[in-house]
Amino acid sequence: MIRFLLRGILRDKQRSLLPVVIVIIGVMLTVFLFCWLRGILNDSIELNARFNAGHVKIMTAAYAKNVDQIPNDLALIGVDTLLTKLKKEFPDMKWGQRIHFGGLIDAPDSKGETRAQGPAVGFGIDMLSGDHSEIERFNLEKSLRRGRLPVHSREILMSEEFSRKLKVNPGDTVTLIGSTMNGSMAMSNYTVSGTIVFGTGPMDQGSVIVDLKDVRNALDMDNAAGEIVGYLKDNYYDEEKIGQVVARFNRLFPVSNDEYAPVIITLRQQNSLGDMIDEIKGIGAFAVFIFVLSMSLVLWNAGLLGGLRRYPEFGIRLAIGEDYSHIYKTMIYESILIGLIGSFIGTSIGLLISLYMQKHGLDLSSMLKNATILMPAVFHTQITSAAFFIGFIPGLLSTVIGTMLSGIGIYKRKTAQLFKELEA
């Protein structure tokens, strides 16, 4: 029977073309939207994880309570010993030390007097030890616009927009004015080695990156760090694995009343990222539901039109003795075949579009210039295993539901009326 119905669908284009085209369009949009939302979620998580949150972050209990103020006076001390223990106990994680700091960047003129000043948010990361992990996480090599990356101590990277605002070029000297870990004033001179574009508004407006060792010397933070960030080795945030890491860490470092004791927080617990992840997942599920509903309504109308055109066919089939239920079942079988054909083609097209967008992305930097949260300037799609079958849900359900609703009219046909229609 399936072969018979398939031949009928392929031969009678007027009966199958419109429903197949509708399913193709709907499934294509469903697959693309699913991949688009997954891409936004993944890009946002990756951006926040690389620049700020990590997959997990270790700080002192007091630092964690005031993290928005960057309280380096509450930073971790003895981090070399702590880091050695972390690497031993968590071999599946990659760890990095960071110091966040705020300050004022002073750009002098040729006479050494202040020409321009601007507030800056600074990152102290490991760039000169030979370990390029942090350089890769911050994507510094690809983000470089002018100059080069630091290769000597007392060299600094500035965001391109910030350097333009202060009229500073690679090779110029700037002064960082801030406060030490102990609260006294700190002033350090640095040579601008290069400028970079982070690709996100808040960081491009006024950020600088300095080698971790130079920051420690400037802020009197010997063997100290504001935070230690941890990443799964495959660089993908997995809540189940992270939960295991947190549980093991809490067993090694039980909660105490010591405000300088190390505590661990996950990516979900920072910057409302947990709410954002849940919201985007909810939006994706709601979008699929809307497509199922809308496509069902459209295909219901298409089924009604097709049913009206096929009334003579139904009449002949009823007149020769075929019962109502058999006709109704064959219509449903036809809708399943149409749904499979349309879903397969629509999924293929949606995946091809998503593959292109995954590679090239869509630049929305002009719309995010004034953004106050970390959001990627270029949005990409992300193709996951679910993308290969997510389109079949609305593709099959909508065609079957639409046919079931429109096919009810078959049971309302009267045999006597059918013979009158055939005579006419």
- Binning pLDDT at 50, 70 and 90, where does residue 348 land? very high
Query: Is residue 349 scored above 90 in pLDDT?
Result: yes
Cα distance between residue 178 and residue 120, in whole Å? 10
CA distance 171 to 173: 7
Q: Of 412 and 266, which is predicted with more confidence? A: 266
The angle subtended at Cα 53 by Cα 50 and Cα 54, nearest 5°, is 55
**Beta carbons of 364 and 378 less than 8 angstroms apart:** yes
Q: What is the mean pLDDT of residues 235-264?
A: 84
Q: Chain centroid to CA 227: how far?
A: 24
Q: What is the DSSP string of 114-156?
A: EEEEEEEEEEEE--SSS--HHHHHTTHHHHEEEE----STTEE
Residues 6+ apart with CB under 8 A from 273: 44, 45, 48, 53, 267
Q: What b/e sequence results for 260-283 when a residue is b if at least 16 CB atoms lie within 10 Å of its CB, and e otherwise?
A: eebbbbbbbebbebeebbeebeee
| Terminal-residue alpha carbon distance, the chain | 31
pLDDT per residue as tens digits for the range 387-406: 888 888 777 877 777 777 76
Highest mean pLDDT (candidates 32-41, 170-179, 320-329): 170-179
Q: What are the beta bridge partners of residue 406?
A: none
Q: Encode pLDDT of 280-310 as tens digits.
A: 677 767 776 776 677 667 766 665 665 556 6
pLDDT at 192 over 80: yes
DSSP 185-200: EEEEEEEEEEEE--SS
Closest CA relative to residue 101, chosen from 196, 199, 188: 188
46 sits in which H/E element: helix 13-48
180 by DSSP, 3-state: which? coil
> pLDDT confidence of 373, banded at 50, 70, 90?
very low
Contacts of 325-328 with CB under 8 Å at 24 or more apart are: 327/410, 328/407, 328/410, 328/411
Is pLDDT above 70 for 156? yes
Q: Which residue has the higher pLDDT, 59 or 376?
A: 59
Distance (Å, rounded) from C-alpha 183 to C-alpha 256?
26
Does 381 score more than 50 pLDDT? Answer: yes
pLDDT at 422 over 60: no
Q: What is the mean pLDDT of the chain?
A: 79
- Chain Cα centroid distance, residue 312: 53
Tokens 């601008």 appear where?
Answer: 192
For residue 256, pLDDT over 80 is answered with no
Q: How far apart are CA 59 and CA 250, in angstroms?
A: 13
Best-predicted range by mean pLDDT (179-183, 274-278, 420-424): 179-183
Q: How confident is the model at residue 363 (pLDDT cuts 50, 70, 90)?
A: low
Q: pTM for this one?
A: 0.67
Helix (H, G, I), strand (E, B) or coil at 288: helix
Report the pLDDT averaged over residues 32-44.
80
The tokens describing 279, both together, are 């919201």
Higher pLDDT residue, 415 or 266? 266
Residue 150 has pLDDT above 60, yes or no: yes
Is the distance from CB of 415 to CB of 422 less than 8 angstroms? no
Q: 45-49, 181-185, 294-298: which has the minimum mean pLDDT? A: 294-298
| Cβ pair 215, 172 in contact under 8 A | no
Query: What is the full DSSP assignment across 50-94?
Result: IIII-SEEEEEHHHHHTGGG--GGG-EESHHHHHHHHHHH-TTEE
Q: Specify which residues 60 forms β-bridges with.
A: 262
The pLDDT, as a whole number, for residue 410 is: 64
Q: Assess whether pLDDT exceeds 70 at residue 370.
A: no
Per-domain boundaries in the chain: 2-47+275-423, 56-236
